[in-house]
């Protein structure tokens, strides 16, 4: 199945999934033994899974910082595990904990950050990431390439070598976001 466009809103999952509203760390559904059906999370994100397809292949980077400390973007987001084996990869996935998001598909397509968070099983909205929500004493801010992003972060279109930073902390005390990421050679 080729994936060509994101839904205008994230789809209602055909099987029940739960998006974490807890504090980090957040394990990916593909971790064996965590009791989550990773295929259901990929499907809830509106994505297919298959063998790795490299005809379209680029990368974006995600930083999440809570109270000045980085939160790991884990490996295996977008991996579908059945039993003890990897059954496939979604077009959006991570291979390691660097924060690099791999965007790989057979044909050009548009993918959004919210799809990655649904695959991850973590709530993302204009006011919350996981269990961290803006309130009278805390700010939640999103930046794209160092510039403030005022809209719904789940709708950020993932682009080649884009740097996305989600910052949460005491009101008025958020650190400066990273403006760019030094992608390793070949990425």
pLDDT the model gives residue 81 = 86
The 10 Å CB-count burial string (b at 16+, else e) for 110-128 is ebbbbbbbbbbbbbbeeeb
Task: Give the number of other CB atoms < 10 A from CB of residue 133.
Answer: 14
Low-confidence ranges of the chain (pLDDT < 50): 1-13
The H-assigned helical ranges of 121-186 are: none
pLDDT the model gives residue 187 = 74
Strand partners, 147: 144
With beta carbons less than 8 A apart as the criterion, state whether 59 and 164 touch. Answer: no
DSSP H or E run through 172: none
pLDDT the model gives residue 100 = 97
Nearest to residue 6, comparing CAs of 117, 80, 88?
Answer: 117
All structural domains of the chain, each given as residue ranges with its CATH number in brackets, are 38-170 (2.170.130)
pLDDT the model gives residue 85 = 84
Question: Which backbone phi and psi does 33 adopt, to 5 degrees?
Answer: 95, 0
pLDDT the model gives residue 34 = 67
pLDDT the model gives residue 115 = 96
With beta carbons less than 8 A apart as the criterion, state whether 121 and 20 touch. Answer: yes
């Amino acid at each position: 199945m080729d994936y060509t466009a994101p839904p205008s809103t994230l789809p209602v999952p055909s099987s029940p999934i739960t998006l974490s509203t807890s504090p980090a760390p957040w394990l990916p559904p593909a971790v064996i033994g965590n009791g989550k059906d990773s295929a259901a999370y990929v499907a809830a994100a509106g994505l297919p899974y298959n063998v790795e397809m490299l005809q379209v292949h680029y990368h974006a980077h995600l930083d999440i910082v809570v109270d000045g400390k980085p939160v790991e973007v884990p490996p295996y987001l977008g991996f579908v595990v059945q039993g003890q084996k990897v059954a496939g990869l979604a077009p959006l996935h991570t291979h390691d904990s660097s924060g690099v998001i791999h965007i790989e598909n057979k044909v050009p397509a548009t993918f959004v950050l919210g799809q990655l968070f649904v695959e991850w099983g973590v709530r993302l909205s204009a006011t919350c990431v996981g269990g961290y929500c803006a309130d009278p004493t805390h700010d939640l801010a999103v930046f794209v390439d160092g510039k403030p992003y005022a809209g719904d972060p789940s709708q950020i279109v993932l682009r080649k070598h884009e740097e996305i930073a989600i910052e949460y902390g005491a009101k008025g005390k958020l650190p400066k976001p990273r403006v760019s990421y030094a992608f390793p050679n070949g990425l």
